[in-house]
Every structure is written in C-alpha cells, then in structure tokens.
Structure 1
C-alpha cells in the first residue's frame, strides 16, 4: 500500500492557523474514515484536539467528495475510485508542550494536534512536507525536529518520513528563529533549541546536559535508543513544563531559570530546569519504550487505564534528581535538600491518607489532571509520592541484599525484556509483571512492601530507611509560608496555622485550598473566600505570618471575609503549625558501602 502523504504550512500567523493536506492513495472502498487523537501520550487527560479543526473538505482529483462527521473526532468520506485528498485548517494557540501554537514569532506542533489518522492504515508509511510560511517576516524561520528527513533545505523545510502513524505523532516540530547548539553524549548527537528571548550560557548548559545524558545512557547500557536527540525549550516569563517523546522533549521554562554567562553558581531555578530535562530524557527508556501494556499500543481515541503510572512517572521523578547527583551537578547535601522538599510536599497533602498510589495512577484521567480546590484533601500525586515509593524500593533492595542489588538492576532488566526491542515486539509490561520482575531481579520477596506502599494509605517507611543509610531526618514546623523544607539548626518554635493555602488578592488574602482537618475548615471558611481582617485589623498575604505570630496557640480570632460579594464573619481558633516540614543531612560518621552505593559518598 502506498505511503500516506501530509503537507502542513503555517498559513495565517496572526490568525494562528496551520493548513494541512492529507492525501490517501488507496482509500477504503466503502468510504474512508479519518480521525484525530483525543489525547497526547504522556499527558493523561482527554483534550479533544479535533475542536481546533475549523474547516475541512475532501476531494478526489478536482471533484468535491462528501465528508460526513461521525462524532467528535471522526469523519467519513464518500466512496471514491482514486486517491482521496482531505484539506483542513487547524487553530493553533496553545502555548504549552501538549498542543500546537502559531504566531508571527514562532510555530510549534505535536502530530496529535494536526495530523489526521487514516482508519485501517495507521501502520502505513507516512511522508510529511513541512512548508515555510509566506511573507517577509518569516524568511529567517527554520525547522527543528527529530522526524527522519528525506529531502530538506538547510532551513529544515522540506520532506520528512515516519514508519507509521505512531512514529509520526511522536516527533514534535519547532518553527521560527530559535537558537540551536549541538553536543555529543556517548557519541550520540544531541541538539539544544531555545525559542524566545534569552541570554543562555550555552557552554554551561551543554556541559551539564552532556553529563546528565551520559549518566542515563550508561545506566541502561550503550547504545542509546535513538540516533540523535533534541531538547527544545520555549522561554517565557514564568512557564514550566515538559513532555517526553521517543527522541526529543518539548519544554517550557521561565527565562530567569536559564544559566547566564556571569553566574558562578548553579541557581535553584537552573537546577529545577536541569531536573526537568533529566526527567523527560529518562522517559526515553521508561515509558517511551518500557511501557505499560495498556499503552502498547496507545488507544488514542479513549482513555488508557493503568495502575502503573507510579512506576513510569514516579520512578522517573525519583531518578531525575538522582541523575543530577550522579552527573556531578548536585552535591549529596543538595540532593538531600531536594528530596526533603519532595517529602515536605507529600506530607502537606492530606489526600495521601485517602488515595493509594495504585488508585492515583488509575484515576489520573479524572482526578490528577482535573484538580480543583479540594484536590489536596482527596488525592496524592503519583509523581511525588511515586518518587518516594521508588526511593523506598531502591533503599529496601540495597539494604536487604547488602548493596549487591538496587533499583538500577530492576530498570535494566525491564529495559532488556520490554524496552530494547519494543519497536519489534510491541510488548508492554502487564499490570502485575512490574512487581514480579522487581522481586525476581532483586532476589527479595517484595510482596509485603508493595502492598504497603502501593495499595495502602499508610505512611511510607522513609525515615527508617534513610536512618539505615546514614541520613539524619528532621521533621519540624515550617518557618513561615515560604518554607518548602530543608535542615534547620537550633531551636525551632512552632508557629500557628490557619490550615489553608493562600494567594494574594487586592482585597486581602484569598483562600485557594482549605484543608479538611484545619482551623479554617472548622471555622466554616471555604476556598474562594477573601479574608480582609483578623481581629479587626486589615490583613494581606505579605503580612499574614507577622500578624499571626503574636497570638498563642488556641487563640480565637474574629475573621471578616467576602464570599462572592457578601461579607461574612467567622471565629477561627489557631492551631499549632504541624511538623510537616522535612530536613535531611548526612551523618558525620560513615554509613559504609550501602550509602556509597546510593549517594556515592
């Protein structure tokens, strides 16, 4: 069967429209059906990309062909005897890593947003012509993508190919006047593309990324699973996010987080950005090739349920910062400080007592990606608690095998059995297989561990495990609203708490989330209320900590607030701030080979 042919062109930069043409050489005899995915792999939410198709028509030769919409994302053409051409326009103004975007300065698209699939021919070869936009303003535009090139200009515009639809949609495309640099990791070319205004120190960035990439390639074993890799980053004022692909990642970061030439230290924002790069890069193995069976293949017309997201996102979240340590980007204490922040974030989520990790994985479609003001009370993140579960699993295996085995061995075994030959075998990890492989490879019976960590809402055995590895644990009250965790010396006096998350509001303090078991909830306050006065004095987000510091625990304060446009009065009784803030530090005395194997100190 002949290849499917696509042509995409940025047609209206100011209007944010791509024009796409799909030519089907051998359409179905009874009327060809075409469809667009309703979600994008790696982001588990039904996004209804077809809503952005604003005009669509079909032709056979020069003759119009009836095209009937069947449902929210499928169309069927009337039967024709020759090739079928479908032309459509896509609105692209989603400044994220998940969709498509176009304006006078930049273009970007994921295939799931712009390329219709041909029902029954999803396994056929695809060819894509990426055409340059018209007009003087776009003369300097270039293309960055890992789609295999067939015949392209120096600018990158031209023809590309993909073995099938699954590959076609797994190579996002960046368009515009971006900056691009290249480095090699374990002999593999890696491109770094940055779009948007920036002053990035590329020399430092490439040096750091090279270390991270080589650490990960060597963990799983050379060669890398791709011929080249592309980091593409969109710079904004305050953005953050990433999405993995088989040979690239699309990222958004805040401008101040990128490294500058005059900076002598790695700032916190830059470490966060490197952690994001590390996370998405690790997905090249863990989820893009080692996949849950539910994703082999992806059912892109509906949700794909699995209880294993804790393993594919949580374990990746564990390794992302750990790889910064192994690459020499972080010191052991810096790594422990980041780990303490993760522990603090989970500890401050009451939903960890309501939802297990398996439930969190299964409910991603309806809970994690659809969070509201009550989410902290109802759910736990399979990213952050999943990372802590991975930490516990790694330390448990190391402890019970005397350091002979670790989570590294489990990941390498999964790679050998499922990931390395996934393109040929298409074999995903079954819902119970992951745990079985972990027990088999480690030689440790882990059933009780998994029952506790994955299928109960009990506390994780983090503190005991860290203690065994020579890490001191501190659980203390927060020192103000900006305290995210970390070791503190000296006497720590517990302050008071209102039991809510807040945001600044022109009128006072807006309650964004109210915890089920806190003073604000007991006082009858709700998310969305805007507090304007405590005890008769005007209040704001900037002075809340100082305003409350003079009251002892148990004090009852009259609170005035607006709920919608109605003034309400409540009595709030202050509680002692809980010891929900973690600090970690290495003990002075050695903890032997166990700690060396984990932290390399």
Structure 2
C-alpha cells in the first residue's frame, strides 16, 4: 500500500467512502396476463432506492427501427404507490412522460398495456403468446440508464408458455439485463414455441449456442429440418467475416413467429433477432423465410457491432438520424440474398431477379437520380415503418437505403474483384476488425479510410465515396455484371408503358368506385412516367382513354395493348377544378432485367464462368 501524505488523508477517506457505496438495486418489472384474450397485460414496475422526483418515460423509438413511434398511446390505468400501498400523486406531463414529485424510498408504478400488433416494432398479446418488443412494453426511469433490471414473467403455466429471449435467465421465471440499453435490445417471446439448437465453434476454439425458436403450427420435425437450413446460412455468414461475434452469455436466439394475421418484419438485436412472417406455417415456405433470417443474422456483425456512431447511444426519446444506413442496412441487404446463393438455396439464374431489382433501384428511381445515399439514409426517420396519414411524395424523392446501398455493395464487390483481386468479403472483414470487433463506432469517412487501406489506393476510395456515396453518379452495371456472364438489358423492349402502377380506382374513403365512375389515381405519379409528364397526378379520375370508358386499371391497360412507344393517347379526366383532356405520349419502359448469358443466347467465356463461380460459390471450408 502506498503511504498517504498528511495533507490529502481526509480527501482520500472521502473518496474511499464513495467507492464503498453499495451498487444500486435492480429496477424490477413484473408482467402478468389476466386479460390476454383482449390483448392486455398488467405491469408493475418497482423502483428501489428512489431518490428525488421521479420521471418515467415510455419510448418513442425502438432498437433496429429508425423512425419515431408513439408507444405511450398503448398504456393506461397508470398508478403509483409507496411500498406499503399508499397511493402517490403521479402526473402525466407529456403523452409518454409521467412524474412523481413526492414518494418514499421504494416506489411501485402499475399500468395496463394493450398490445395487438405482431411485428418487430410493437407488441402482441393473446392466449397463444405474448410477443414483446421491450420499448413498446416497459416504462423506464429517466436518469437510470445504467441501473440493472430484472423481469418476472407471470402466468406462464396458465397459458402453457415458455420464454425465449436474450435476457439472462436468473432462475424460474426471472430474467435480467445489465442496463436499459441491453433491455431495450432484448425482444422476448412467451409462447408454446418449438425449438432446435446447435453449437458453433469460433476461431478461438470456444463454443457458442445458436437457438431457433418458432411459434407456429408446424411439427417438431419441420422445425428441426428448417434449423438445418438456417445452419447453412449461419456458416456462410461466418465465412464472410472469418469468425463469429462473441455473443453475450454465449448464445444467439432466433425468435420467429409465423401466422397469417402477422405483420411481416425482421428486427435485428445484439444477441437475437425477431422475425415475424405472414405465412400459415413454415412448411412449404422455408426458402422465402430464409431471406429474412439471412438478412437479420448478418446484422449481428453489421450494425449491432459494426456500429454507426450516429446510433450511439440509441435515443429512446426520439429517433436517431444516420448517414450510414446505406452501409448498415444496404450492404446487409446485398449479403442477405447473396449468401442464399452461396448456401445453395438459389441458383445463379434465380439470383438474376435480385440483381435486377438492385440495379433498377439506382438507375430507374427519381430519388436515386436526385439524392445521394447519405441523404436517403437520413430519410429513415420518416420512412422506416414511420406512420403518416397525409400523402407523401416518396415516389419521387425517396429510394430506400436498403436497395440503394445494396446496389452500391454489388458494384463495389464486382469492382474489387475485377480491379484489385479483392472482394467485398475482404472489405467487410477489414471493417469488422477495425470497428466491430473492438466496438469502435464508425462514420462515413471511417468507411472510406478502411477501403483506402484495403485497396492500398486512396484515390480509388476517395473517388468511389465522392461519386457514389456523397454524390449521385452511378456505376456501370452493364460492364460490371458482364464480367460474371450476366447481361443487363431492357425488361420490356418495344412495349408500351405509361407508368400506371395501381390495381384499382378507389375513392378517398377507400371504397371501390362503381362501374363507369373512372380510375382514381390514388398516389403521386412517378416523375419519369408519361402520366406525370402529361400532368396527371393523385386525385385525378381518368374517365376515358382514346374514347374508351375507363373503369379500372385493367381497362386502361387494355387500351395500351395495341400501342407502341411514341404513340399518343387522348385521356379525359376530372378533378376538383373540373373536366380536362390531355395527351399521354407512350414510352418504352425504362426498367431493366438481368439474365444469364446462357438465357440471352450465348455461352459465358471461361473467364466469366470463373468470375461467377468465385463470386457466388460457397465459402465454407
């Protein structure tokens, strides 16, 4: 022990006393389901060591979701008590904020939760399950971000439920989280789910456990067989990065809910993912389901550990705005589909449909033509399952960062392979080692720097980011895809196109218009379309086309059947300013498709075949 100087003894004793203070006791939540048939839960939050005025909050955003949501609307009957049951005055100061000015050392807060939306953002309760996304369920204490938390899930035996979660199991029906951020990132499924598990061995020799839990009507053999398919995807993803992440408590859990009335979704979390599917069951839909599994599991590296600085820490008061979602989500989108080919679940021929979608997203959408990937990333605060009752113009000013970023990833992968004898796998591995493995959040310039180091070509990295990330220039996809023996061509050459995309005319109340009432344009017309150029937009009602009565989209399409690009169609329509006549000049569809050289009528060269194989073949050794 170092000897203390007399002049600082008293100060040192004070510091020692401060360090000797006991750790804060956990905040405790108990959740029960006496009225599950009507989608309600009863929640009691116990706050020990309650000090000063308490401010309690329901979240307005959710881990993995980038838009703002109002979870506070679904709680009611909010009450507060001292530990002896004495009622306390609790004041609602905002829609999702409650304050308790005076109280004892231990405070209990109770409330009713209504939950009837099964997806990755909200919560759902019925006698079959409690599907819990934590920000949509649990109130939290402002200023207590680092306090440990415990959860008691009641009524499990009553409904025959088990618990699937990344929370730490403390025993019986008690689970814990080290702090609020971890709790919010821990979706929980209470149901009679079926489960299959397997061990994976990391490069350091340590084993970890992967759990697949599925709440569906399938039998156990179906779940076991699907688990084997998921295992193949898991191994392909590990091959990209060279190693698995280190999962907290040594486990990673897929939480899957499959039912026709669900709202399809996938939501990544640090040690788990919440996947919701609208199918009747897993059996017969395995390949479709795998797409979401592949995407979400890739996130356990990219976004949950390779973490944008703009998402740190995650703000549950309001959505974080990020410039990096083209990478966090877009590159994940690219790999989510690519790895299904490498794992043998899609053929290169089947993969051409995915490639065509990526290319069209950047070459044939007004948003990508006008705005860079960074700006489209920032739009997530409005577009990522954001709720709006007023019409938007996203048709013409937004291209999803999922596909925008996916197309950038495609181009970068092909360019690294053809120009540097490198791959996008090499780049992802470099970013993982520099950022994700050491949990060092990144910015867009960091990603450029990592590309510069990998290629040993700062000029290439600077040009790529300047043109395609910060700028709106586009890569030459025709040339790049040709290197792998794929052909990029017009999808409908010579066919008439006017940009009509809706399936039926509806009035403002959502009811179908009667026969002869016309075709209502229900949303903004696409800026690149002949309809837009002719001055037709949302709210207009098309009555006739070339003298033919129009009743719905099919009757308008019938008029186009004998037209060709350059032809003119006289269109009679009405809107609030009266009756009008305009001329729509038919064009050729700008949309592209990707096909194999074989389908296009030629054979790929040996070089093209090798390139394709190196790109799309399995990397599992």
Mapped to 2, the partners of 1:474 and 1:275 lie a distance apart of 24
Mapped to 2, the partners of 1:166 and 1:540 lie a distance apart of 50
8 Å CA contact retained: 2:497, 2:587: yes
Q: Does the alignment pair 1:436 with 2:449?
A: yes
Deviation, 1:315, is: 0.7
Q: Does the alignment pair 1:217 with 2:229?
A: no
Which of residues 189, 192, 197 is equivalent to 1:177? Answer: 192
2:11 is matched with: none
Mapped to 1, the partners of 2:445 and 2:469 lie a distance apart of 12
Q: Does the alignment pair 1:413 with 2:430?
A: yes
Deviation, 1:546, is: 4.0
Which of residues 523, 528, 544 is equivalent to 2:534? Answer: 523
Deviation, 1:523, is: 3.0
Change (3 A) 1:198 1:542: farther
Q: Which residues of structure 1 form unaligned runs of 5+? A: 153-157, 261-268, 479-492
8 Å CA contact retained: 1:232, 1:250: yes
8 Å CA contact retained: 1:6, 1:20: yes
Mapped to 1, the partners of 2:286 and 2:560 lie a distance apart of 34
Q: Does the alignment pair 1:80 with 2:103?
A: yes
Deviation, 1:443, is: 1.8
Q: Map 1:141-152 to 2 at 5 A.
A: 141-152=161-172
1:382 is matched with: 401
Change (3 A) 1:25 1:203: closer
Deviation, 1:102, is: 1.2
Deviation, 1:498, is: 1.7
Q: Does the alignment pair 1:254 with 2:268?
A: no
Structure 1 stretch displaced more, 343-352 or 374-383: 343-352
Deviation, 1:232, is: 2.3
Which of residues 446, 464, 478 is equivalent to 2:479? Answer: 464
8 Å CA contact retained: 2:362, 2:474: no
8 Å CA contact retained: 1:125, 1:161: yes
Q: Does the alignment pair 1:190 with 2:207?
A: no
Q: Does the alignment pair 1:276 with 2:292?
A: yes
Q: Does the alignment pair 1:109 with 2:151?
A: no
Mapped to 2, the partners of 1:496 and 1:461 lie a distance apart of 26
2:615 is matched with: 598
Which of residues 446, 451, 456 is equivalent to 2:466? Answer: 451
8 Å CA contact retained: 2:258, 2:281: no
Mapped to 2, the partners of 1:21 and 1:185 lie a distance apart of 38
1:473-513, CA deviations, whole angstroms, 9 ceiling, x for partnerless residues?
Answer: 222143xxxxxxxxxxxxxx421112232122444645344
Deviation, 1:197, is: 4.2
Deviation, 1:333, is: 2.6
Structure 1 stretch displaced more, 590-599 or 13-22: 590-599
Deviation, 1:561, is: 5.0
Mapped to 2, the partners of 1:148 and 1:554 lie a distance apart of 66
Q: Map 1:128-167 to 2 at 5 A.
A: 128-132=151-155, 138-152=158-172, 158-167=173-182
1:74-123, CA deviations, whole angstroms, 9 ceiling, x for partnerless residues?
Answer: 32222434112111222212232101111233321111111222222211
Change (3 A) 1:440 1:180: same
Q: Which residues of structure 2 form unaligned runs of 5+? A: 1-23, 202-206, 506-511, 598-602
1:571 is matched with: 582
Deviation, 1:211, is: 0.2
Change (3 A) 1:421 1:110: same
8 Å CA contact retained: 1:306, 1:431: no
Mapped to 1, the partners of 2:540 and 2:210 lie a distance apart of 49
Change (3 A) 1:247 1:254: same
Deviation, 1:347, is: 3.5
Structure 1 stretch displaced more, 53-62 or 200-209: 200-209
Deviation, 1:590, is: 1.9
Q: Does the alignment pair 1:315 with 2:331?
A: yes
Mapped to 1, the partners of 2:231 and 2:45 lie a distance apart of 39
8 Å CA contact retained: 1:501, 1:513: no
Mapped to 1, the partners of 2:107 and 2:281 lie a distance apart of 48
Deviation, 1:528, is: 4.2
Mapped to 1, the partners of 2:149 and 2:38 lie a distance apart of 28
Mapped to 2, the partners of 1:567 and 1:191 lie a distance apart of 62
Mapped to 1, the partners of 2:298 and 2:291 lie a distance apart of 10
Deviation, 1:292, is: 0.8
**Secondary structure, aligned partner of 1:5:** strand
1:14 is matched with: 37
1:410-464, CA deviations, whole angstroms, 9 ceiling, x for partnerless residues?
Answer: 2222222332243xxxx31134212111211232321011111112222233222
Deviation, 1:365, is: 0.9
TM-score (norm: length of structure 1)? 0.86
Mapped to 2, the partners of 1:545 and 1:75 lie a distance apart of 56
Change (3 A) 1:410 1:551: closer
Structure 1 stretch displaced more, 447-456 or 537-546: 537-546
8 Å CA contact retained: 1:502, 1:513: no
Mapped to 2, the partners of 1:270 and 1:326 lie a distance apart of 16
Deviation, 1:55, is: 2.2
Which of residues 221, 224, 228 is equivalent to 1:207? Answer: 228
1:481 is matched with: none
1:228 is matched with: 251
8 Å CA contact retained: 1:93, 1:102: yes
Runs of 4+ more than 6 Å apart? none
Change (3 A) 1:133 1:208: closer
**Secondary structure, aligned partner of 1:47:** coil
Deviation, 1:298, is: 0.9
Change (3 A) 1:271 1:569: farther
8 Å CA contact retained: 2:245, 2:300: no
TM-score (norm: length of structure 2)? 0.84
1:490 is matched with: none
**Secondary structure, aligned partner of 1:319:** helix
Mapped to 2, the partners of 1:271 and 1:563 lie a distance apart of 46
Which of residues 55, 59, 64 is equivalent to 1:42? Answer: 64
1:585 is matched with: 596
Deviation, 1:319, is: 0.7
Mapped to 1, the partners of 2:572 and 2:26 lie a distance apart of 68
Which one has the largest radius of gyration? Answer: 2
